[in-house]
Amino acid sequence: MVESLLDRMPLNNGYTIPGLGLGTSGMTGREAEDAVFSAIMKGYRLIDTASHYDNEEDVGRGINRAVSSGIPRDEIFVITKVWKTDMGLEQATASFEASLERLNLAYVDLFLIHWPDKDDEVNLATWRALEEIYESGRAQAIGVSNFKRGDLIPLLKEAKVRPAVNQYEIYPGHSEQDINDYCDSENIVSMGYSPIKRGKISKENKLMTLAKKHNKTPEQIALRWSIQRAVIPIPKSSDKEHIAQNADVFDFFLSDEDMNLLNNLDANPKEKNRLRDNMPGTIEHRNKGHRKS
């Protein structure tokens, strides 16, 4: 388990990744640039963006400002993603080239498929593009985002390079334990976006109780819960105070009792069964042909 912002955990290709990062979805312009720069100067070493966020140029400027201020580029772990409309071998390759240019970087540390296509063959063609990019050295690792078990199984059967990371939504009350366990079994690191429930986690009574117990905020409790599950949380914020608070989660420990309390916030059994029946990869889900956008 990581014990500081500078600690890293191993990926399945031997590369390492920081255990907590900054998400940038919804931030553009100077707001995004300043948030990235401030986070890096406060000790963050993982920055997450995507072509779909329309902020890669801004994020890149923040990263390069930090590098110009003395932070070595090889200490900063940069993630970007290929969007649903750019799936396929040629399109994904072109999307990556455009992302790299917008970021103004020689390489990224992790390149992800942002969302799975309902057609496994499209996912595989896109993965071939990522494998070629990885082999070129312009991405130090490759992975996926929002993939369920049913999306991963056919990909893993054909992949020459196994996904190093699966990024998906995780917060207390939405633990995604099934896919988390599956990723663990396949040596794929889980990364959690919206780890503080888009700022709504502070309204959860049990989070508030644990926050008082540990003299922390509910957001810090949620982030610590992710870290102790070996899930990398990437909370997004442009507020300098919140960026600092989100990083202040390495000086306390949640007990087994605390962790069980948070784990049990998930939906009741009937609701969990309904959700599981609609997971990509199940017969019920495939018959519906449904895909969340």
Among 136, 235, 148, smallest CA distance to 188 is for: 148
Cβ proximity of 13 and 164 under 8 Å: yes
Catalytic status, residue 53: yes
Q: Report the residue count for the chain.
A: 293
User: Do strands 189-193 and 232-233 pair parallel, antiparallel, or not at all (unpaired)?
Assistant: parallel
Nearest 10 degrees: CA dihedral of 163, 167, 173, 178? Answer: -20
154 three-class SS = helix
CB burial string 93-118: b at 16+ within 10 A, e below = bebbeebbebbebebbbbbbbbbbbe
Q: Of 44, 53, 168, 193, which is the active-site residue?
A: 53
Q: Which residues are catalytic?
A: 53
